[in-house]
Structure 1
Amino acid sequence: MDFAPLLNAPLLVQCHVVFAMTALVLVPVMLFRRKGDRLHKIIGRVWVLAMGFTALSSFGIMDIRLIGPFSPIHGLSLLTLYSLAGAVINARAGKIEAHKGNILGAMGGLVGAGVFTVLPGRLMSQILFPSAEVIGFVAILALGVLGFVLWRNKLKHAI
């Protein structure tokens, strides 16, 4: 790993990475841990804040300009904010299945955006795989598929 590209990036990008990594680290905990207890609520609040700040900070990062100053990632950020609001509203209203759907949607957005950040040539790829960006990207994809399969298997056994 080489943190120089991150340390040389603008402060907003550095904060965005910290928020996103906080949310990403909590994803497996949220997927595989027991739901509904006090710790679940604490972890959930931290995750929603991290995701919210990740989405909001993305609007200040405009390296890829496809639609004026924006890119498709900014659309994903809007959907994420919508999902997070729905998750909180539904949890407070006791609509747990809807809450779960909102959370899974936001998680999908995080993972989807994360895949694009490790494309060869992007900042996170330079940080994580400074001398093997293509191999690193393939490894991330493989781990993502494995995680998805494990998660789906857990869901099948829970039914």
Structure 2
Amino acid sequence: MLNLQIFPDLPIAVQIHIVAALTSLVLGIAMFVRRKGTRSHKMIGKLFLALMLITATSAIFIRYINDGALSWIHIFVPVTFFAAWETVHYIRKGNLKGHKRAVKGLFFGALLIPGFLSFLPGRTMWMMVFGG
């Protein structure tokens, strides 16, 4: 049972984080299924990258799980920044294989894995989706 009623009461950093992450998920899927190298692929990729950086940056301000300190899930912040850097670095060097690996790392390692972890019982996404 989806419970979106709690969304407006969440801290702004959490709201930004959720919107940026979910939008990144949609764009990431679109990026993978569309033809590579096209103008639309590049546009979607740039937007995906920007939203992933917003997701990671907003995560820095989400600290209510661990009494105001960073928690174990914050390890994905530097992972995201590094993978984003790699993504740009490799495409600028013309290294398509490295670029592809970095984008997959960004999508799976910095978006899907922490995304799944956000659905642990008691976490905000658990409460929003499962109503508990």
TM-score by length of 2: 0.91
Which residue of 1 is the match for residue 127 of structure 2? 126
**Structure 1 residue 64: Cα displacement:** 2.8
5 Å matches for 1:24-39?
24-39=25-40
Unpaired runs of at least 5, structure 2: none
Distance 1:40 1:119 in 2: 33
Which segments of structure 1 move beyond 3 Å, counting only runs of 4 or more?
none
Which gives a bigger RCO, structure 1 or 2 (Cα 8 Å, sep 6+)?
A: 2
Are the aligned partners of 1:83 and 1:105 in contact in 2 as well (CA < 8 Å)?
yes
Give the number of aligned pairs. 130
**Structure 1 residue 44: Cα displacement:** 0.1
Distance 2:64 2:97 in 1: 37
Post-superposition Cα deviations, 1:45-76, rounded to whole Å, max 9, x if no partner, equal: 0000000000011000012329x811122111
Q: Percent identity?
A: 35
5 Å matches for 1:63-78?
63-65=64-66, 69-78=69-78
CA RMSD of aligned residues (A): 1.6
Are the aligned partners of 1:118 and 1:124 in contact in 2 as well (CA < 8 Å)?
yes
- Bigger radius of gyration, 1 or 2? 1
Unpaired runs of at least 5, structure 1: 132-159
Which residue of 2 is the match for residue 23 of structure 1? 24
